[in-house]
Structure 1
Amino acid sequence: MFLPKLTIEGVLGFNFKKSQKILKISILVILLLLCFINYSQARYKRFIKEENLKLINNEEYLIQTCVAYCDAQFGREFEEHFGRSYFTQFFDFPIDSLIVSSINNFNSFCSLVEQRSCCLQQECLKSSVPASPQTHICLEHRADFERALACLNSTVPHFKFHSICSTAAKQSVDIKRLADETHGFDIHLTEQYRQQDLRCRFQACTLSARIMLINEHCNQNGFEEDQREHARRTVRRYYEDDLELDLIEYGETLNATRRFPRFCAAFLAQQKAEPIALLIDHKSSQIYLDELNILLKIIGADTAKMIVTGM
């Protein structure tokens, strides 16, 4: 039996042909994969609008999605801990009785606020946490609220005068004056102005009622005057800062002077005891005081009843 003579050239030739065959198969597989990927992408794009594709690659959209995730996580943990919805059953104004009912609840709430702040900074890469009623209480003025907590806890829970102030805010509106203030506005701006005006009236009402209750209940429970004054100052600053946030949302002062409700501007100036940001003339201040008196008259009897009975 004769065996073929093996040479270096023969071996190399055989390996080269085998390598060529493997290479061709590999290229064919890669081409097939590329075709499949391109087809899949084309098919996928047919079901996504062009503007949505732009959103996916938009940094602002990604940040908004991240913020929404942090908010949802905060809301879920709030509900798990307190047994009620943060978004539908918790009130920033008046200060919710849930967080002033005990130091444990207060600390638990602030712990959740701190976790949300960490989420925004670490996950969403935000250099600073946007100001809000929650950050005011837990991050900026926590020590003040801790000191005022016992006095605030002795006041009537917010829901006892929530509906009263909602009604009083609507009844105190001067329809003719509101029409004059919104003259020349389109439908959207008019509605925005009206809603903000009502919100400020509601806040003025709840702040006044809260101060009345602090004066009465904290006095009955043996708090010293300096403690009552600290509680009043803490609550007023809380409302004041929120009003300033509302004002900032209206943009530059020049535009805000026209678009920010006159009652709100006077309310803010009254809390700061100076006409900051907006030019509040004597007439505007008097209008505010007159309409605030209407609010106080409406809530007066009900608030007095709550103070006496503790209901």
Structure 2
Amino acid sequence: MFNFITFILFAVVCISYCHKSRGRRHFGDEYRINTPACDIVCEGQWKSEFHANFHKIYDTEYFEIPLDTAIVKNRANLKMFCSSTIQKYSCLRNECKIQRTPWSAEKHICVGHFDNFDRNINCLSLTDKYVQRECSNVCNSIKIEISQAEIDRMAEMDFSRQEKSEFVEQNKHCNVIACYQLCHEYIISKVCIDSAVAARSVVKSYYDSYLEREYTELNKDDQDELYSSFCRRVTPGQDENEFTANMTRYNNLTLDRMKNDIRSVFSILD
């Protein structure tokens, strides 16, 4: 009898512990085991050249969202940035024997889609001042909320305080990214009449790929439950109702509110 009761108690404790010790996602740089020093050298040289070329510190003064002025200011800047980036990936491939590298903003622009950026650089340059000023004002002040349905789901899934915090921060990040995409596409339509379709496609591809990277980072750590319904709505290939049902109307209202805020700021151009 004693052994049976002991076994039952042990099983209950184990189940409870296993449930509460789900893996956590940690934001920040990932530690890669056995990373050769070679790739650090390639990366360091690239950042050093970025500083020399643009007089900005890459880690603290360059922004991937929105597209940074340093690279869309003009064609010369774009080519200078991409020439250095191509050298970085050649270094990784030839010197470090690293044949496969994950998605990155600079890889997307310079390796995967340089011709598209180059063809549309005039439009990107013309719209940059609006993106940096008006779009930033809108997107840094948008109202961001978590739906009651998702709050209830977090309670049902017994999210830890850290998981709740990460869920909220990721949702904010997705809202800001989506806002910049909508805003940039909107201003392109107003300023770049003849090339608007092509330029919007360039911007959409960039932001879509950025969001796909966001999801991939969570999914590979088996933490995709921390990706909100809104994040799924704006990320290609994801289902906004996968974890929380009936979220389409809520997400529609969120996007409509963003669009109205953007139109209000740029009403002078209408």
Same fold (TM over 0.5): yes
Per-residue deviation, 1:66: 3.4
Q: Match of 2:251, as an amino acid?
A: Y
Aligned residue for 1:283, secondary structure, equals coil
CA deviation vs aligned residue, 1:191-220 (integer Å, no higher than 9, x gap): 22112111110011111111111011112x
Provide the C-alpha distance between the structure 1 equivalents of 2:43 and 2:222, rounded to a whole number of angstroms.
33
Provide the C-alpha distance between the structure 1 equivalents of 2:39 and 2:160, rounded to a whole number of angstroms.
32
> Partner residue of 2:208?
240
Per-residue deviation, 1:159: 2.2
CA deviation vs aligned residue, 1:226-267 (integer Å, no higher than 9, x gap): x211111111111111111111112269852x2211111011
Q: Note if 1:121 corresponds to 2:121.
A: no
Q: Note if 1:261 corresponds to 2:228.
A: yes
Query: Aligned match of 2:164 in 190, 199, 220?
Result: 190
Provide the C-alpha distance between the structure 2 equivalents of 1:278 and 1:285, rounded to a whole number of angstroms.
10
Give me the TM-score of the superposition, normalised by structure 1: 0.68
Provide the C-alpha distance between the structure 2 equivalents of 1:210 and 1:159, rounded to a whole number of angstroms.
10
> Partner residue of 2:34?
61
Q: Note if 1:218 corresponds to 2:192.
A: yes
Question: Contact conserved, 1:182 with 1:193, CA < 8 A, in 2?
Answer: no
CA deviation vs aligned residue, 1:148-199 (integer Å, no higher than 9, x gap): 111111114232022430211xx13146455234332112222221121111
Question: Contact conserved, 1:172 with 1:294, CA < 8 A, in 2?
Answer: no
Question: Contact conserved, 1:266 with 1:284, CA < 8 A, in 2?
Answer: no
Provide the C-alpha distance between the structure 1 equivalents of 2:141 and 2:153, rounded to a whole number of angstroms.
22
CA deviation vs aligned residue, 1:14-68 (integer Å, no higher than 9, x gap): xxxxxxxxxxxxxxxxxxxxxxxxxxxxxxxxxxxxxxxxxxxxx93342x4333
Q: Match of 2:248, as an amino acid?
A: S
Please give the residue correspondences for 1:67-146 in structure 2 after superposition, counting only pairs within 5 Å.
67-146=39-118
Residue-pair matches, total: 233
Identity, % of aligned pairs? 23
Q: Match of 1:217, as an amino acid?
A: V
Question: Contact conserved, 2:241 with 2:247, CA < 8 A, in 1?
Answer: yes
Provide runs of 4+ in structure 1 moved above 6 Å: none
Provide the C-alpha distance between the structure 2 equivalents of 1:199 and 1:142, rounded to a whole number of angstroms.
26
> Partner residue of 1:294?
257
Provide the C-alpha distance between the structure 1 equivalents of 2:68 and 2:41, rounded to a whole number of angstroms.
24
Aligned residue for 1:95, secondary structure, equals coil
Provide the C-alpha distance between the structure 1 equivalents of 2:227 and 2:117, rounded to a whole number of angstroms.
29
Larger radius of gyration: 1
Aligned residue for 2:266, secondary structure, equals helix
Q: Note if 1:159 corresponds to 2:159.
A: no
Higher helix share: 1
The unaligned stretches of length 5 or more in structure 1 are 1-58, 270-275
Provide the C-alpha distance between the structure 1 equivalents of 2:228 and 2:68, rounded to a whole number of angstroms.
26
The unaligned stretches of length 5 or more in structure 2 are 1-31
